Chain A
Amino acid sequence: MITLTHYLLLSAVLFTIGLFGVLTKKNAITVLVSTEIMLNAVNLNLIAINKYVGADGIYGQLLALFVIAVAAAEVGVGLGIIISMYRNKESISLDDFNFLKW
Protein backbone atom coordinates (compact mmCIF):
# COMPACT_ATOMS: atom_id res chain seq x y z
CA MET A 1 0.00 0.00 0.00
CA ILE A 2 1.44 3.34 -1.05
CA THR A 3 0.90 5.97 1.62
CA LEU A 4 1.48 9.70 1.87
CA THR A 5 4.93 9.15 3.38
CA HIS A 6 6.22 7.39 0.25
CA TYR A 7 5.33 10.35 -1.94
CA LEU A 8 6.73 12.83 0.57
CA LEU A 9 10.03 10.94 0.77
CA LEU A 10 10.21 10.77 -3.05
CA SER A 11 9.73 14.53 -3.21
CA ALA A 12 12.37 15.01 -0.48
CA VAL A 13 14.86 12.97 -2.54
CA LEU A 14 14.12 15.05 -5.66
CA PHE A 15 14.37 18.31 -3.71
CA THR A 16 17.75 17.19 -2.34
CA ILE A 17 19.06 16.32 -5.81
CA GLY A 18 17.94 19.75 -7.06
CA LEU A 19 19.56 21.50 -4.10
CA PHE A 20 22.81 19.59 -4.69
CA GLY A 21 22.76 20.68 -8.33
CA VAL A 22 22.15 24.33 -7.40
CA LEU A 23 25.00 24.32 -4.89
CA THR A 24 27.63 22.44 -6.88
CA LYS A 25 27.27 23.00 -10.63
CA LYS A 26 29.28 25.52 -12.63
CA ASN A 27 26.99 25.88 -15.65
CA ALA A 28 24.29 28.53 -15.15
CA ILE A 29 21.77 26.56 -17.24
CA THR A 30 22.17 23.50 -15.00
CA VAL A 31 21.60 25.65 -11.92
CA LEU A 32 18.34 26.93 -13.44
CA VAL A 33 17.34 23.37 -14.36
CA SER A 34 18.04 22.18 -10.81
CA THR A 35 15.72 24.85 -9.43
CA GLU A 36 13.07 23.49 -11.80
CA ILE A 37 13.57 20.01 -10.28
CA MET A 38 13.14 21.54 -6.81
CA LEU A 39 9.90 23.28 -7.87
CA ASN A 40 8.64 20.00 -9.33
CA ALA A 41 9.36 18.27 -6.02
CA VAL A 42 7.31 20.96 -4.25
CA ASN A 43 4.44 20.40 -6.69
CA LEU A 44 4.57 16.66 -6.03
CA ASN A 45 4.35 17.42 -2.31
CA LEU A 46 1.33 19.71 -2.78
CA ILE A 47 -0.57 17.20 -4.91
CA ALA A 48 0.19 14.25 -2.62
CA ILE A 49 -0.95 16.17 0.45
CA ASN A 50 -4.06 17.31 -1.45
CA LYS A 51 -4.90 13.68 -2.12
CA TYR A 52 -4.21 12.15 1.27
CA VAL A 53 -4.82 14.88 3.91
CA GLY A 54 -8.23 16.34 4.69
CA ALA A 55 -9.63 15.29 1.30
CA ASP A 56 -12.21 18.00 0.80
CA GLY A 57 -11.52 20.59 -1.85
CA ILE A 58 -8.87 20.68 -4.51
CA TYR A 59 -6.77 23.60 -3.25
CA GLY A 60 -3.46 21.72 -3.40
CA GLN A 61 -3.79 21.12 -7.13
CA LEU A 62 -4.80 24.75 -7.64
CA LEU A 63 -1.71 25.97 -5.77
CA ALA A 64 0.44 23.60 -7.86
CA LEU A 65 -1.02 25.22 -11.00
CA PHE A 66 0.05 28.65 -9.80
CA VAL A 67 3.51 27.29 -8.95
CA ILE A 68 3.78 25.98 -12.53
CA ALA A 69 2.82 29.41 -13.93
CA VAL A 70 5.40 31.20 -11.79
CA ALA A 71 8.06 28.59 -12.66
CA ALA A 72 7.43 29.12 -16.38
CA ALA A 73 7.89 32.88 -15.95
CA GLU A 74 11.04 32.26 -13.91
CA VAL A 75 12.57 30.03 -16.58
CA GLY A 76 11.88 32.62 -19.29
CA VAL A 77 13.50 35.47 -17.39
CA GLY A 78 16.36 33.24 -16.18
CA LEU A 79 17.25 32.14 -19.69
CA GLY A 80 17.10 35.76 -20.88
CA ILE A 81 19.57 36.68 -18.15
CA ILE A 82 21.83 33.74 -19.08
CA ILE A 83 21.85 34.77 -22.76
CA SER A 84 22.73 38.37 -21.92
CA MET A 85 25.45 37.09 -19.52
CA TYR A 86 26.87 34.99 -22.35
CA ARG A 87 26.89 38.03 -24.63
CA ASN A 88 28.88 40.05 -22.10
CA LYS A 89 31.54 37.49 -21.16
CA GLU A 90 31.36 34.65 -23.74
CA SER A 91 30.84 32.25 -20.84
CA ILE A 92 28.01 30.85 -18.74
CA SER A 93 30.25 29.40 -16.02
CA LEU A 94 29.11 30.96 -12.76
CA ASP A 95 32.75 31.05 -11.55
CA ASP A 96 33.41 33.80 -14.12
CA PHE A 97 30.70 36.05 -12.72
CA ASN A 98 32.17 37.36 -9.50
CA PHE A 99 32.39 41.07 -10.26
CA LEU A 100 29.88 41.92 -7.52
CA LYS A 101 32.22 40.29 -4.99
CA TRP A 102 34.90 42.40 -3.30
Chain B
Amino acid sequence: MLSGEVIAFAIVAFLLIFSALGVVFMRNIVHSVLFLAATFVLMAVTYLLLDAGFLAGVQLIVYAGAVAIMIVFAVMLTKRSDLHETNLFNKLTIPGAIVSLLVFLGLSWVFVKTPWNLAERPLNDPQAINKIADLMFGQFVIPFEVAAILLLVALIGAIILALEVKPQK
Protein backbone atom coordinates (compact mmCIF):
# COMPACT_ATOMS: atom_id res chain seq x y z
CA MET B 1 0.00 0.00 0.00
CA LEU B 2 1.31 3.39 -1.00
CA SER B 3 0.51 6.25 1.31
CA GLY B 4 1.10 9.88 0.42
CA GLU B 5 4.12 9.99 2.71
CA VAL B 6 5.83 7.16 0.86
CA ILE B 7 5.13 8.67 -2.57
CA ALA B 8 6.37 12.11 -1.46
CA PHE B 9 9.53 10.64 0.05
CA ALA B 10 10.23 8.54 -3.05
CA ILE B 11 9.85 11.50 -5.43
CA VAL B 12 11.93 13.85 -3.29
CA ALA B 13 14.66 11.25 -2.68
CA PHE B 14 14.89 10.41 -6.39
CA LEU B 15 15.12 14.08 -7.42
CA LEU B 16 17.61 14.81 -4.64
CA ILE B 17 19.95 11.99 -5.65
CA PHE B 18 19.54 12.90 -9.34
CA SER B 19 20.46 16.55 -8.78
CA ALA B 20 23.37 15.67 -6.48
CA LEU B 21 24.70 13.34 -9.19
CA GLY B 22 24.20 16.18 -11.67
CA VAL B 23 26.44 18.43 -9.54
CA VAL B 24 29.26 15.90 -9.73
CA PHE B 25 28.86 14.59 -13.29
CA MET B 26 28.07 17.73 -15.32
CA ARG B 27 31.03 18.82 -17.42
CA ASN B 28 30.06 22.51 -17.40
CA ILE B 29 30.51 24.32 -14.08
CA VAL B 30 27.43 26.51 -14.62
CA HIS B 31 25.19 23.44 -15.01
CA SER B 32 26.78 22.01 -11.87
CA VAL B 33 25.90 25.12 -9.88
CA LEU B 34 22.31 25.06 -11.22
CA PHE B 35 21.97 21.46 -10.04
CA LEU B 36 23.45 22.57 -6.70
CA ALA B 37 20.67 25.14 -6.23
CA ALA B 38 18.11 22.42 -7.03
CA THR B 39 19.79 20.15 -4.45
CA PHE B 40 19.51 22.84 -1.78
CA VAL B 41 15.81 23.49 -2.50
CA LEU B 42 15.01 19.76 -2.49
CA MET B 43 16.90 19.41 0.79
CA ALA B 44 14.58 22.08 2.25
CA VAL B 45 11.61 19.99 1.04
CA THR B 46 13.10 16.97 2.82
CA TYR B 47 13.32 19.01 6.03
CA LEU B 48 9.62 19.83 5.60
CA LEU B 49 8.85 16.11 5.29
CA LEU B 50 10.70 15.71 8.62
CA ASP B 51 8.47 18.40 10.25
CA ALA B 52 11.39 20.81 10.64
CA GLY B 53 9.78 23.89 9.13
CA PHE B 54 12.18 26.43 10.64
CA LEU B 55 15.20 24.51 9.37
CA ALA B 56 13.60 24.36 5.92
CA GLY B 57 13.28 28.15 5.93
CA VAL B 58 16.86 28.61 7.11
CA GLN B 59 18.03 26.17 4.42
CA LEU B 60 16.24 28.16 1.72
CA ILE B 61 17.56 31.52 2.96
CA VAL B 62 21.14 30.54 3.74
CA TYR B 63 21.89 27.88 1.12
CA ALA B 64 19.56 28.47 -1.82
CA GLY B 65 19.70 32.23 -1.25
CA ALA B 66 23.18 33.16 -0.09
CA VAL B 67 25.56 30.27 -0.72
CA ALA B 68 24.32 29.50 -4.25
CA ILE B 69 24.61 33.18 -5.23
CA MET B 70 28.12 33.41 -3.75
CA ILE B 71 29.19 30.35 -5.74
CA VAL B 72 27.71 31.81 -8.94
CA PHE B 73 29.73 34.98 -8.30
CA ALA B 74 32.90 32.93 -7.79
CA VAL B 75 32.24 31.12 -11.10
CA MET B 76 31.80 34.47 -12.83
CA LEU B 77 34.99 35.91 -11.31
CA THR B 78 37.12 32.90 -12.25
CA LYS B 79 35.78 32.01 -15.69
CA ARG B 80 37.93 31.68 -18.74
CA SER B 81 36.96 32.37 -22.35
CA ASP B 82 34.48 29.49 -22.71
CA LEU B 83 32.73 27.43 -20.09
CA HIS B 84 32.69 24.06 -21.86
CA GLU B 85 34.77 21.33 -20.25
CA THR B 86 35.29 23.43 -17.11
CA ASN B 87 34.39 20.70 -14.62
CA LEU B 88 36.40 17.60 -15.42
CA PHE B 89 37.51 14.57 -13.45
CA ASN B 90 41.10 14.16 -12.30
CA LYS B 91 43.23 11.04 -12.62
CA LEU B 92 41.86 9.49 -9.42
CA THR B 93 38.35 8.71 -10.68
CA ILE B 94 38.44 4.93 -10.22
CA PRO B 95 40.23 4.90 -6.81
CA GLY B 96 37.90 7.70 -5.69
CA ALA B 97 34.85 5.71 -6.77
CA ILE B 98 36.12 2.63 -4.91
CA VAL B 99 36.79 4.61 -1.72
CA SER B 100 33.37 6.30 -1.93
CA LEU B 101 31.64 2.96 -2.45
CA LEU B 102 33.45 1.48 0.58
CA VAL B 103 32.44 4.48 2.71
CA PHE B 104 28.84 4.07 1.54
CA LEU B 105 28.82 0.36 2.37
CA GLY B 106 30.29 1.07 5.82
CA LEU B 107 27.82 3.85 6.55
CA SER B 108 24.78 1.87 5.45
CA TRP B 109 25.96 -1.21 7.37
CA VAL B 110 26.20 0.90 10.54
CA PHE B 111 22.85 2.61 9.89
CA VAL B 112 21.00 -0.65 9.33
CA LYS B 113 22.68 -2.65 12.11
CA THR B 114 22.54 -0.06 14.90
CA PRO B 115 19.77 -0.85 17.43
CA TRP B 116 18.17 2.62 17.36
CA ASN B 117 16.35 3.67 20.51
CA LEU B 118 13.27 4.64 18.51
CA ALA B 119 10.56 6.79 20.07
CA GLU B 120 7.00 5.43 20.23
CA ARG B 121 5.73 8.39 18.21
CA PRO B 122 7.92 10.46 15.88
CA LEU B 123 8.38 14.00 17.11
CA ASN B 124 5.96 16.45 15.47
CA ASP B 125 6.10 19.56 17.60
CA PRO B 126 4.26 22.65 16.31
CA GLN B 127 6.05 24.66 19.03
CA ALA B 128 9.50 23.64 17.73
CA ILE B 129 10.48 27.18 16.73
CA ASN B 130 9.67 28.48 20.23
CA LYS B 131 11.81 25.73 21.75
CA ILE B 132 14.67 26.55 19.37
CA ALA B 133 14.48 30.22 20.40
CA ASP B 134 14.40 29.35 24.12
CA LEU B 135 17.39 27.03 23.82
CA MET B 136 19.40 29.28 21.54
CA PHE B 137 19.05 32.39 23.70
CA GLY B 138 19.08 30.48 26.98
CA GLN B 139 21.12 27.35 27.42
CA PHE B 140 23.13 27.74 24.19
CA VAL B 141 23.69 31.49 24.22
CA ILE B 142 27.49 31.18 24.36
CA PRO B 143 27.74 28.91 21.27
CA PHE B 144 25.35 31.36 19.59
CA GLU B 145 27.66 34.29 20.30
CA VAL B 146 30.68 32.24 19.23
CA ALA B 147 28.92 31.50 15.92
CA ALA B 148 28.35 35.25 15.51
CA ILE B 149 32.05 35.94 16.11
CA LEU B 150 32.95 33.13 13.68
CA LEU B 151 30.79 34.70 10.97
CA LEU B 152 32.36 38.11 11.58
CA VAL B 153 35.87 36.64 11.39
CA ALA B 154 34.97 34.74 8.22
CA LEU B 155 33.57 37.94 6.68
CA ILE B 156 36.75 39.88 7.39
CA GLY B 157 38.93 36.97 6.28
CA ALA B 158 37.06 36.56 3.00
CA ILE B 159 37.43 40.28 2.26
CA ILE B 160 41.16 40.21 3.06
CA LEU B 161 41.71 37.08 0.94
CA ALA B 162 39.80 38.39 -2.07
CA LEU B 163 41.25 41.93 -1.92
CA GLU B 164 43.28 43.07 -4.85
CA VAL B 165 46.93 42.80 -3.79
CA LYS B 166 48.83 45.95 -4.73
CA PRO B 167 52.32 45.27 -6.08
CA GLN B 168 55.02 46.43 -3.63
CA LYS B 169 57.01 49.38 -4.94
* Chain A residues packing against B (C-beta within 8 Å): 1-2, 4-10, 12-21, 23-27, 29-30, 32-34, 36-37, 40, 43-44, 47-48, 50-55, 57-59, 61-62, 64-66, 68-77, 79-84, 86-87, 92, 94-95
Contact with A along B139-169 (1 / 0, CB 8 A): 0100100010011011101111110110000
A27 to chain B, nearest CB (A): 5
* B111:A68 contact, CB within 8 angstroms: no
B10 to chain A, nearest CB (A): 9
21 A-B residue pairs with Cβ-Cβ distance under 8 Å, sorted by A, are A1-B6, A6-B13, A9-B111, A12-B111, A25-B24, A29-B29, A37-B23, A44-B46, A55-B120, A57-B131, A58-B123, A61-B52, A62-B136, A62-B140, A65-B55, A68-B59, A68-B62, A70-B147, A73-B154, A76-B155, A86-B77
Interface of A is mostly: helix
* A54:B132 contact, CB within 8 angstroms: no
B145 to chain A, nearest CB (A): 12
Interface of B is mostly: helix
Closest 3 pairs between A and B when the two form their complex, measured CB to CB: A55-B119, A80-B161, A23-B96
Other-chain contact of B89, A13, A25, A84 (Cβ < 8 Å): A25
* B116:A79 contact, CB within 8 angstroms: no
Other-chain contact of B50, A24, A51, A72, A77 (Cβ < 8 Å): A51
Contact with A along B65-91 (1 / 0, CB 8 A): 011001101110110000000111110
In the complex, what residue of chain B is closest to A65 when comparing beta carbons? B58
Chain B's interface size range is: 35 or more
* A12:B123 contact, CB within 8 angstroms: no
A18 to B21, CA, bound (A): 9
Contact with A along B15-56 (1 / 0, CB 8 A): 011001101100001001100100110010011011110110
Residues of A close to B51: CB separation below 8 A = 51
A6 to B50, CA, bound (A): 12
Using A6-B13, A62-B136 as known contacts, list a sample of 4 further A-B pairs with CB atoms less than 8 Å apart, ordered by residue number in A: A52-B118, A52-B122, A76-B158, A84-B161
Residues of A close to B87: CB separation below 8 A = 25-27, 30
* A36:B77 contact, CB within 8 angstroms: no
* A29:B157 contact, CB within 8 angstroms: no
Residues of B close to A87: CB separation below 8 A = 164-165
Residues of B close to A18: CB separation below 8 A = 20
* A24:B67 contact, CB within 8 angstroms: no
